[in-house]
Amino acid sequence: MRDRARFISELHALLEASGRLEIIATGEQSKTLGPDYRLHVSHGHTPGMLLTELPSEQGPIVFTADLVPGRPWVHLPITMGYDRYPELLIDEKHALLNDLIERNGRVFFTHDSEIALGRLSTNERGRFELIEPIATPTRMCL
Taking only the tens place, the pLDDT of each residue in 101-119 is: 999 999 999 899 999 999 9
CA separation for the pair 118, 107 (Å, rounded): 6
Full strand arrangement of the beta sheet holding 49-54 = 38-42, 49-54, 61-63, 106-108, 117-122, 128-134
108 phi and psi angles, rounded to 5 deg? -115, 120
Range with top average pLDDT, 32-36, 60-64, 75-79: 60-64
Interatomic CA distance for residues 13 and 10, integer angstroms? 6
CATH fold group of domain 26-134:
Metallo-beta-lactamase; Chain A (3.60.15)
pLDDT at 43: 86
pLDDT at 2 over 80: no
**pTM, two decimal places:** 0.83
At 98 the pLDDT is: 97
The residues facing 49 across adjacent strands are: 42
Q: Where in the chain are the domains?
A: 26-134
